[in-house]
Amino acid sequence: MQSSPYANLRRKIVIILAATAILPVLLLSAINYMEFERTFTAEAQNPLRATVSKSKNSLELFMAERSSTISLIASAFSYEDLADVRTLQRIFFVMQKEFSGFVDLGLINEQGALVNYVGPHRELLGIDYSGQEWFHKVRFQNRFVSEVFRGFRLFPHVVIAAQHVTERGDRWIVRATIDTAQFMKSMSIAHFEPDSDIFLLNRKGVLQSDSLFYGKTLEQCPVPVPVQSYETRVVNTSDHNGRPILLSYCYLAGSDFVLVAVKQNVNPFQSWFMLRTDILLILCVSILAIYTVAARTVGTLIARLQESDKEREQAMLQMEHSQKLSSIGRLAAGVAHEINNPLAIINEKAGLLCDILEMEQAFPRREQFDSNLKAISNAVARCRDITHRMLGFARRMDVKIEELDVNAVLSETLLFLEKEAQHRSIVIIQELADGLPKIACDRGQLQQVFLNVLNNALAAVDDGGETRIRSALHGKDAVAISIADNGVGMDEETKKHIFEPFFTTKKEKGTGLGMSIIYGIVKRHGGEIQVDSAMGKGTTITIILPAGHLPAGA
Amino acid sequence: MPDARHPLKLLMVDDERDFALTLAERLELRGFTPSVAFDGESALERVRGEHFDLVLLDVMLPGLSGLTVLRRIREMQPGLPVVLLTGNAGAKDGAEGIQQGARACINKPLDLQELLSLFAEIAKESRHA
């Protein structure tokens, strides 16, 4: 009945406390997670980036070397030398020895006709290039590097052409074909990694070299051309099949080429997995620890709170109880006092009538009058007892520590119960020792202690039972008062809880406060209460109170 | 029992007229000479003007309280025994009265026999004195 608000409070505090502690941990873990993920991604991307950068440099160098060579040949030799088949053959031979990739070499005159040729396609001799675009480009720019194309040949190639113009204004063009596929193959082997591919695209997305994954040279690449960038870039994207790929690329300056490297199976990596698991584990353990500590601490706190609340409630109830008694007492005192005066008049009037009756010599029905007047006197005497008792009860509400004779207080208390005992023919045996030391206590409280125990004793015995009251010296300087009955006795459970507030065996008739109140009183006076009981045999309650003297002058 | 030669002269002070008069009548029947006062002022006047052997004084009085009257009587005639009557058995007033020199404090309703033996005791004491 009480647990619910405490459980609520507990839950709230635990949640607030845990949230305050867990939130920063979560935040930190998230930041860590992202930071690590970035590091790991960069680590994964770097090799691919390096591959593209290196390949780009190599490719640019490769092309630059070859185009310089062609330029040199065009300038270093005269038209006649170049037109000579044998000389051209020798030059081509040296070129092939020095530089890989050259397929053929040709000389084109001013009109665009192929006048000399060394290479596998001698049938091209005499062909006219003047209608072709590259021819015009080389005439303006002196140098030209083509895209990959098939041209008149049947394999993909790149054409490099250089024009030489003499001082006299004569001009000729040296033209060489280079097999780039060969070069790319060597590159992809050099940078070979499993699941990776390196290839060239032009800006229209046509493959300029063979790709491991996306087709042969001059086929359309299914992966879209990435955004223009002359810096090497790495992007996480997916290919035409929707598989995640790591794509690194770079546009080559001064040409139409885009160098692309692709890594498939972009699996997150073992170490990242492990680290992620670690972070998660640490997070979980932290949260668990924080929660446990918070829950434990708050639990203890709430338990203490609950305990102290309960104690306070008990104190309040006891106070309420004694206040109730006190106001009942005051009321009783007022009533008793008010009644005493008319009672005194009745008493005296009846007495006077008796006196008069006695003086009369001959009075008819004297005996009848006499007995009735006696009855009135007796009734008054009973009323007086009652009012005196009520006044005594009221007086007890004011706490005043006195030196008390235990036997006297016991006898006084017994007066309250005599009538009940008589009615139920319960024998009360008193074995009170003489010469006991006095104890310092409030009379009312001591009476309350005895009254409660005696009440319980009377409640426990059947009509005709027996209650034995003993007082004796206990040790050197204490008094033991034991009240024994031969009633029903108590079971273990009752014995265990006898001093707990609100514990009662009397159902509606008891408040459950009696024993707890007297326990408090006896403890306050430095005494103790012993309970000895057996089912069916009876109960003996022994109250031990230390002898006490009032301090001088009190 | 009062001495025939020297009947005990009493002053009864109580605002309950019925009670005071009836008790006075009963005491008179027993050979005492009681006078009655219904408040403190007139009681003090009587004490000032007459000789009494004993004063029976109710603690609860209108006007001057019983304890004040007691104090005044003690001042005037320290040798005059005063017995207090109270309707509030065991109250502090009774104990305080005894401390201030009252001979005894008797609870109302009275036990006449108790009162008479107290009177006899007081008479004996005063004779010895």
Q: Write out pLDDT tens, residues A167-207.
A: 888 889 999 988 877 777 777 666 667 778 888 888 888 88
- The verdict on B19 touching A (C-beta cutoff 8 Å) is yes
How far lies A23's CA from each of A9, A12, A19, A34, A330, in Å?
A: 21, 16, 6, 17, 62
| ipTM metric | 0.89
Size of interface A-B (CB pairs under 8 A): 65
* A390 contacts: CB under 8 Å, gap ≥ 6: A332, A333, A335, A336
Q: Name the residue in chain B with its Cα closest to that of A355.
A: B26
Domain that holds residue A136: 1-267
Among B26, B90, B107, beta carbon nearest to A348? B26
Q: Name the residue in chain A with its Cα closest to that of B110.
A: A344
Among B26, B87, B110, beta carbon nearest to A355? B26
A386 and A501 in a single domain? The answer is no
A396 phi/psi in degrees, rounded to 5: -65, -20
Pairing status of strand A478-485 against strand A538-546: antiparallel
Domain that holds residue B15: 9-128
Instruction: For residue B21, tell me if it sits in a domain.
Output: yes
Find chain A residues with C-beta within 8 A of B109's C-beta. Answer: 340, 343-344, 346-348, 380-381, 383-384
Q: What is the pLDDT of residue A520?
A: 80
Mark yes or no for CB contact A340/B89 under 8 Å. yes
Instruction: For residue B104, tell me if it sits in a domain.
Output: yes
Q: What is the pLDDT of residue A192?
A: 66
Spatial separation of the C-alpha atoms in residues A131 and A444, rounded to whole Å: 135
* Residues paired with residue A540 on neighbouring β-strands, in sequence order: A484, A532
Mark yes or no for CB contact A391/B110 under 8 Å. no
A387 and A405 in a single domain? The answer is no
Pairing status of strand B82-86 against strand B104-107: parallel
The total domain count for chain A is: 3
What average pLDDT score do residues A108-114 get?
A: 89
Instruction: For residue A272, tell me if it sits in a domain.
Output: no
* Residues paired with residue A251 on neighbouring β-strands, in sequence order: A258
CATH number for position A94? 3.30.450.20
Instruction: For residue B3, tell me if it sits in a domain.
Output: no
Among B26, B87, B91, beta carbon nearest to A352? B26
Mark yes or no for CB contact A341/B29 under 8 Å. no
Instruction: For residue B2, tell me if it sits in a domain.
Output: no
pLDDT digits (tens, 9 = 90+) for A347-365: 999 999 999 888 888 878 8
The CB density around residue B108, as the number of other CB atoms within 10 Å, is: 26
- The verdict on B91 touching A (C-beta cutoff 8 Å) is yes
* DSSP 8-state code for residue A48: H
Spatial separation of the C-alpha atoms in residues A406 and A181, rounded to whole Å: 122
Q: What is the pLDDT of residue B121?
A: 87
B10 phi/psi in degrees, rounded to 5: -110, 150
What stretches of A359-448 adopt beta strand conformation (E)?
401-404, 427-432, 439-442
Q: What is the pLDDT of residue A292?
A: 92
Q: Is A205 helix (H, G, I), strand (E, B) or coil?
A: coil
CATH number for position A452? 3.30.565.10
A380 and A431 in a single domain? The answer is no
Q: A41-50, A128-137, A274-283, A508-517 — which is least confidently predicted?
A: A508-517
**Token pair for residue A286?**
């932290």
pLDDT at A19 over 60: yes
The total domain count for chain B is: 1
pLDDT digits (tens, 9 = 90+) for A115-174: 999 988 888 888 888 888 888 888 888 888 887 776 666 667 788 899 998 888 888 999
Q: What is the pLDDT of residue A508?
A: 61
Spatial separation of the C-alpha atoms in residues A128 and A109, rounded to whole Å: 10
Instruction: For residue A109, tell me if it sits in a domain.
Output: yes
Q: What is the pLDDT of residue A471?
A: 92
Mark yes or no for CB contact B22/A395 under 8 Å. no
- The verdict on B16 touching A (C-beta cutoff 8 Å) is yes
Let me know: does A332 contact A394? Beta carbons within 8 Å. Answer: yes
* A326 contacts: CB under 8 Å, gap ≥ 6: A397
Mark yes or no for CB contact B108/A344 under 8 Å. yes
Q: What is the pLDDT of residue B5?
A: 47
Q: Is B24 helix (H, G, I), strand (E, B) or coil?
A: helix
pLDDT at A3 over 70: no
Q: A23-32, A51-60, B111-120 — which is least confidently predicted?
A: A51-60
Mark yes or no for CB contact B108/A355 under 8 Å. no
Mark yes or no for CB contact A344/B88 under 8 Å. no
Q: Name the residue in chain A with its Cα closest to that of B14.
A: A341
pLDDT digits (tens, 9 = 90+) for A78-89: 898 889 989 999
Spatial separation of the C-alpha atoms in residues A418 and A427, rounded to whole Å: 10
Question: How far away is chain A from the Cα of B29, in angstroms, using its nearest Cα?
Answer: 8
- The verdict on B29 touching A (C-beta cutoff 8 Å) is yes
Instruction: For residue A278, tell me if it sits in a domain.
Output: no
A87 and A181 in a single domain? The answer is yes
Spatial separation of the C-alpha atoms in residues A516 and A509, rounded to whole Å: 16
Pairing status of strand B54-58 against strand B9-13: parallel
Mark yes or no for CB contact B22/A341 under 8 Å. no
pLDDT at A456 over 70: yes
Residues in A lying within 8 Å of B, measured between beta carbons:
333, 336-337, 340-341, 343-349, 351-352, 355, 359, 380-381, 383-384, 387-388, 391-392, 395
DSSP for B31-80, written as a single string = T-EEEEESSHHHHHHHHHHS--SEEEEESS-SSS-HHHHHHHHHHH-TTS
The mean pLDDT value of chain A amounts to 84
Spatial separation of the C-alpha atoms in residues A521 and A524, rounded to whole Å: 5
Pairing status of strand A478-485 against strand A466-474: antiparallel
A262 and A312 in a single domain? The answer is no
* A66 contacts: CB under 8 Å, gap ≥ 6: A99, A101, A102, A160, A176, A178
Which of B108, B110, B113 to probe the A interface (max A CBs under 10 A)?
A: B108
Instruction: For residue B90, tell me if it sits in a domain.
Output: yes
Q: Name the residue in chain B with its Cα closest to that of A383.
A: B109
A506 and A470 in a single domain? The answer is yes
Residue A284: HSE in the Cβ half-sphere, 13 Å Cα cutoff: 6
A118 and A208 in a single domain? The answer is yes
Mark yes or no for CB contact A344/B110 under 8 Å. yes
A325 and A431 in a single domain? The answer is no
Instruction: For residue A297, tell me if it sits in a domain.
Output: no
Find chain B residues with C-beta within 8 A of A333's C-beta. Answer: 88
How far lies A1's CA from each of A5, A7, A368, in Å?
A: 9, 11, 66
CATH number for position B93? 3.40.50.2300
Final residue belonging to a domain, choices A267, A297, A321: A267
Q: What is the pLDDT of residue A154?
A: 63
pLDDT at A368 over 80: yes
Find chain A residues with C-beta within 8 A of B89's C-beta. Answer: 336, 340, 387-388, 391-392
- The verdict on B108 touching A (C-beta cutoff 8 Å) is yes
Find chain A residues with C-beta within 8 A of B16's C-beta. Answer: 341, 344-345
Instruction: For residue B4, tell me if it sits in a domain.
Output: no
A67 and A211 in a single domain? The answer is yes
pLDDT at A534 over 90: no
Which of A341, A380, A393 to probe the B interface (max B CBs under 10 A)?
A: A341
The one-letter code for the residue type at B106 is I
Mark yes or no for CB contact B89/A387 under 8 Å. yes
Instruction: For residue A435, tell me if it sits in a domain.
Output: yes
Instruction: For residue B14, tell me if it sits in a domain.
Output: yes
A256 and A234 in a single domain? The answer is yes
pLDDT at A533 over 80: yes
Q: Name the residue in chain B with its Cα closest to that of A335.
A: B88
Among A347, A387, A388, beta carbon nearest to B110? A347
A193 and A163 in a single domain? The answer is yes
What average pLDDT score do residues A95-119 get?
A: 88
pLDDT at A229 over 80: yes
pLDDT at B30 over 50: yes
A129 and A229 in a single domain? The answer is yes
**Does B116 or A401 have the greater pLDDT score?**
B116
Final residue belonging to a domain, choices A358, A383, A398: A398
Q: Of A206-220, A257-271, B46-60, B80-94, which has the strongest mean pLDDT?
A: B46-60
pLDDT digits (tens, 9 = 90+) for A485-526: 988 888 888 887 787 766 777 766 666 667 877 888 888 888
**Token pair for residue A189?**
């082997």
pLDDT digits (tens, 9 = 90+) for A315-351: 887 777 777 766 777 777 788 888 888 999 999 999 9
Find chain B residues with C-beta within 8 A of A352's C-beta. Answer: 22, 25-26
Q: What is the pLDDT of residue B2?
A: 47
The one-letter code for the residue type at B47 is V
Which of B12, B14, B23, B86 to probe the A interface (max A CBs under 10 A)?
A: B23
Q: Name the residue in chain B with its Cα closest to that of A333.
A: B88
Among B16, B18, B89, beta carbon nearest to A388? B89
How far lies A152's CA from each of A105, A121, A149, A481, A482, in Å?
A: 14, 9, 9, 133, 132
CATH number for position A392? 1.10.287.130
Q: What is the pLDDT of residue A511?
A: 62
Mark yes or no for CB contact B19/A348 under 8 Å. yes
Let me know: does A172 contact A74? Beta carbons within 8 Å. Answer: yes
